[in-house]
Amino acid sequence: MFKNADEVMRYIKEEDVKMVDFKMIDIAGNYRHVTIPASSFSETTLVDGVGFDASNYGYAVVEKSDMIFIPDVTTAMIDPFCEIKTLSMTGDAMIIDYPHNRPLAQYPRNIVRAANEYMKQTGIADQMIILPEFEFYLFDDAGWEVKSDHQEIHVGNNQSYLNSNQEGSGNVVAYQKNYHVAKPQDTTYDCRSQMVLRMEEAGIPVKYHHPEVAASGQFEIEPMLGEMSKMADASVMIKYIIKNTAQEYGMSATFMPKPVYGEAGSGMHVHMLLMKGDEPVFSDDAGYSHLSKTAHYFMGGLLKHIASLCAITNPSTNSFKRLVPGFEAPVTVGYATSNRSAVIRIPAYAKTPNLRRFELRNPDATCNPYFAYAAILMAGLDGVANEIDPHANGWGPYDMNLYHLSEEEKKKLKGLPTSLEEALAALEKDHDYLTVGGVFPEELIDNFIRLKKAECAEIAKIPTPAEFERYYNS
């Protein structure tokens, strides 16, 4: 890891680096980039930065949209996907001001920093440690077309049961039976191993990778627990590595929550715990599932604000096609131990005090991870500050399979939003917990809602094949 511009310039010379690439984060949480010749990189680059137009990144700012990007040398790494040797860095967006530039408050990395600072000011904890699980599909074939006279989607994975009538398809996997299948059915093993090696080269420790439930090509890579702001950077890099490695192997990777009708959806479950110094804040042997009062209040905050949180953690119309019963996706506002049908699950295997935690199961990887992790933290801190007890509020613990309740019992449960429009409406009404301490600027929330409402309206206009099937002959 580099500490200053001198170390970077020395490395560039010694390793014969040709290009320096600057990766910026847009409002959706995706990379944009600008590249300069390595010979142009100097200490001045870290001061003057690189100019860009923030409005093209989705940020609506009162100030002029001309911004500068300041690279963070601690993130520097060789980009393994560039044929010409390229050193890559992420960094921060600044508002051009005099005499000193100001951080763009809406910029995702700055949101996470602000949430961290607010947490420290409350005295509740010093660090939030998280572990996001990355589920995704690998397709050998994927394409789509949306025209006035033609709407089409086609996706395919060679190991899928849908290809069982094709020549040479003796290793196909049965419907929803892909979980942990071994070779020869696990045809993408080497591709995923390469993904993991590249993550570790990028400084992202990995716990494991494996096939997931859906037989049409679903998999998971799970990193190790890490500090929230570092994991936000890592989350964008993980997606970058997965997508580019898949392309090298002649496939495409997607983090769409529900790309295949009738198969399991892909989530990004987020495990979390708080630390104050060396002390685990969430651990208490006397508490339910060995969790402390603070942990329960934190869960209470998440459950209280879960509808508005969904707008940030599940920000696509496709997200809500995953959040349906029957595919191990959460649909119920509640908590429990070892129960994947509740939105908060406490893993029974996390037994040591420093590992005691819970996971929020509704998020998916279409989110901007910086916004999502910061919003999760702010909701939880609100729960602690206001001592929101999840049990007293009737949110559990639900230590039973919520999918198998009678219809009468199901009516008593509160459900997650069933559409992005519903989640956005909740965010409009319930976002004060995000703006506390100036963490989320009101301007960002308003802009985010406006952009997402427009997205919903645009998609709602498009007829689908399912509508033709149902209504064409009505």
- pLDDT for 421-437, tens place per residue? 999 999 999 999 999 99
| Closest to 304 (Cα-Cα) out of 399, 401, 392 | 392
Assess whether 345 carries a catalytic annotation.
no
| Catalytic position from the list 79, 140, 186, 220 | 220
- Return the DSSP state at 291: B
Please, are residues 128 and 272 in contact by the beta-carbon 8 Å criterion?
Answer: yes
Of 76-80, 292-296, 414-418, which range is least confident? 414-418
Of 37-41, 149-153, 246-250, which range is least confident? 149-153
The encoded tokens of residue 161 equal 């049961």
Assess whether 133 carries a catalytic annotation.
yes
| Catalytic position from the list 48, 53, 190, 279 | 53
Is 80 exceeded by the pLDDT of residue 146?
Answer: yes
pLDDT computed for residue 399 by the predictor:
74
Cis, peptide link before residue 99, omega less than 30° from 0: yes
| Closest to 82 (Cα-Cα) out of 193, 219, 246, 248 | 248
Question: What is the separation of C-alpha 17 from the centre of its chain, rounded to a whole number of angstroms?
Answer: 32
Is 90 exceeded by the pLDDT of residue 168?
Answer: no
Of 128-142, 146-160, 241-255, 448-462, which range is least confident? 146-160
The stretch 140-151 carries a mean pLDDT of 89
- pLDDT for 354-405, tens place per residue? 899 999 999 999 999 999 999 999 999 999 999 999 999 999 888 766 666 6
Specify which residues 156 forms β-bridges with. 141
Assess whether 407 carries a catalytic annotation.
no
Share of the chain above pLDDT 70, in %: 95
The arrangement of strands across the sheet holding 252-254 comes to 206-211, 218-223, 134-139, 252-254
The encoded tokens of residue 419 equal 């559409």
| Catalytic position from the list 32, 33, 210, 340 | 340
Label residue 79 by pLDDT band (50, 70, 90).
very high
Q: Rounded to 5 degrees, what are φ and ψ at 304?
A: -60, -40
| Catalytic position from the list 140, 186, 212, 382 | 212
Of 39-53, 59-73, 146-160, which range is least confident? 59-73
SS3 73: helix
| Closest to 274 (Cα-Cα) out of 231, 242, 227 | 227
| Catalytic position from the list 21, 92, 135, 382 | 135
The stretch 279-304 carries a mean pLDDT of 95
| Catalytic position from the list 359, 364, 382, 431 | 359
Q: Rounded to 5 degrees, what are φ and ψ at 88?
A: -110, 140
pLDDT computed for residue 386 by the predictor:
97
Sign, Cα dihedral of 177, 180, 182, 188: positive
Cα–Cα dist 345/328, whole Å: 12
Residue type, 62: V
Cα–Cα dist 345/11, whole Å: 45
Please, are residues 268 and 363 in contact by the beta-carbon 8 Å criterion?
Answer: yes
Assess whether 443 carries a catalytic annotation.
no
Assess whether 220 carries a catalytic annotation.
yes
Question: Count of CB atoms within 10 A of residue 190's CB?
Answer: 11
Mean pLDDT of the chain: 91
The encoded tokens of residue 457 equal 């309206």
Is 80 exceeded by the pLDDT of residue 169?
Answer: no
The stretch 90-118 carries a mean pLDDT of 86
Domains and CATH numbers, the chain: 5-104 (3.10.20.70), 107-130+269-474 (3.30.590.10), 134-266 (3.30.590.10)
Of 4-8, 55-59, 243-247, 414-418, which range is least confident? 55-59
Residue 145 or 116, more confident: 116
| Catalytic position from the list 109, 305, 357, 361 | 361
Please, are residues 390 and 303 in contact by the beta-carbon 8 Å criterion?
Answer: yes
Assess whether 200 carries a catalytic annotation.
no
The encoded tokens of residue 174 equal 């049965």
Question: Count of CB atoms within 10 A of residue 239's CB?
Answer: 20
Question: Count of CB atoms within 10 A of residue 280's CB?
Answer: 20
Is 70 exceeded by the pLDDT of residue 353?
Answer: yes
Assess whether 263 carries a catalytic annotation.
no
pLDDT computed for residue 54 by the predictor:
77
Angle between helical axes of 420-429 and 306-313 (0-180°, round to 10): 120
